[in-house]
């Protein structure tokens, strides 16, 4: 189902997430492999968890999926722009900045699962235009202190597409320099929203960014304003990676909502992605 003659690489990032997060990674990889087949390249960039442990927790995968130890690969020039004590997992999408610089590179969050090719992704690949990048549409703008640099769209970094040769380092450095100049001091990112906004600004300042529409891939969770249902082509299960969600929603623990939400969609996800059902053992309770 991929675009003929187009070389594509798909990458994921995984760290010390919940068991549901590792299962989502397995489903995401099988879904992508079913879409793009053996001609695509696949890699999982692993941080803070030993590779052998991450492989075991993810379970059986299609042939040809590589694993990359990325724990020490957050670029040193960007580290000073992260506040000490930021939430675990921030910055790992930059480790490394690009894994497939000579291919169309599609970065998926581990909890972003595709089973059909979004029309927006097909358009991005078919146009083959320099500097034309891709992100996902969000339910609302969550772009932190870089909001004013991100253009008119609500963008989510759960899907990020870069064309061959796109210099992500130069684009990120430009945004950090512009923001630091406006502040009169080095910009310091204090939340995951800042990290998402930095990526959106780096792509939007070059030219238009194509956005995978919410009807194609939903921002999927039981909590408003996210959507509880699956999209036509996929779903990004935001919040699934958390081992514990420390608040209540409609007077029930958020963990219970998330557990029920995942259990409701899980059987259908195995059908849609073609992941082997023997991997679908019951998950331990979390939270």
Q: If you average pLDDT over residues 249-254, what whole number do you get?
A: 97
pLDDT 10s digits, 75-94: 999 989 998 765 444 688 99
Minimum mean pLDDT among 1-10, 49-58, 190-199, 271-280: which range? 1-10
At 170, is the pLDDT very low, low, confident or very high (cuts 50, 70, 90)?
very high
Predicted confidence at residue 287, as pLDDT, reads: 45
Which residues contact residue 173 at a Cβ distance below 8 angstroms, ignoring those fewer than 6 apart? 77
Share the mean pLDDT of the chain: 92
Omega cis (within 30) before 225: yes
With bands split at pLDDT 50, 70 and 90, how would you rate the model's confidence at 72?
confident
- Does 216 score more than 50 pLDDT? yes
Q: How confident is the model at residue 194 (pLDDT cuts 50, 70, 90)?
A: very high
Q: If DSSP codes are grouped into helix, strand and coil, which group holds residue 227?
A: strand
Instruction: Tell me if residue 180 falls in helix, strand or coil.
Output: helix
Class of domain 8-278: alpha beta
Q: Which of 214, 219, 226, 204 is closest to 152 using CA atoms?
A: 204
* pTM for this predicted structure: 0.93
pLDDT at 83: 84
Q: Look at residue 2 in the predicted model and tell me its pLDDT.
A: 56
pLDDT band at 1 (very low <50, low <70, confident <90, very high): low
Among 245, 243, 195, which residue's Cα sits nearest to residue 222? 245
Asked if pLDDT for residue 135 goes beyond 70, the answer is yes
| Two structure tokens written together for 29 | 């990889």
Give the N- to C-terminal CA distance of the chain in Å, as an integer: 38
Helix (H, G, I), strand (E, B) or coil at 25: helix
Calculate what percentage of the chain has a pLDDT beyond 90: 84
Mean pLDDT to the nearest integer, 238-267: 97
């Amino acid at each position: 189902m991929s675009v003929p003659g187009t070389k594509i690489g798909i990458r994921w990032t995984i760290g010390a997430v919940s068991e549901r997060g590792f299962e989502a990674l397995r489903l995401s990889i099988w879904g992508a492999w079913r879409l793009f087949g053996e001609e695509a390249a696949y890699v999982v960039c692993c941080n803070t968890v030993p590779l052998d442990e991450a492989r075991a927790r993810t379970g059986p995968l299609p042939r040809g999926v590589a694993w990359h130890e990325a724990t020490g690969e957050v670029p040193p020039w960007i580290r000073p722009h992260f506040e000490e004590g930021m939430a675990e997992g921030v910055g790992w999408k930059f480790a490394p900045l690009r894994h497939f610089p000579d291919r169309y590179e599609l970065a998926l969050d581990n909890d972003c699962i595709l089973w059909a090719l979004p029309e927006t992704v097909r358009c991005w690949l078919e146009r083959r235009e320099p500097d034309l990048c891709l992100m996902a549409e969000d339910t609302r703008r969550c772009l932190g202190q870089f909001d004013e640099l991100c253009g008119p769209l609500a963008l989510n970094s759960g899907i990020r597409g870069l064309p061959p040769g796109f210099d992500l380092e130069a684009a990120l450095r430009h945004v950090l320099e512009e923001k630091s100049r406006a502040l009169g001091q080095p910009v310091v990112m204090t939340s995951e929203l800042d990290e998402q906004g930095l990526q959106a600004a780096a792509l939007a300042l070059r030219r238009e960014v194509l956005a995978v529409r919410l009807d194609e891939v939903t921002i999927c969770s039981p909590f408003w304003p996210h959507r509880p249902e699956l999209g036509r082509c996929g779903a990004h299960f935001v919040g699934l990676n958390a081992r514990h969600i420390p608040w209540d929603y409609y007077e029930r623990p958020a963990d219970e909502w998330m557990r029920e939400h995942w259990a409701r969609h899980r059987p259908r996800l195995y059908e849609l992605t073609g992941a082997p059902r023997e991997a679908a053992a019951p998950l331990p309770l979390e939270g």
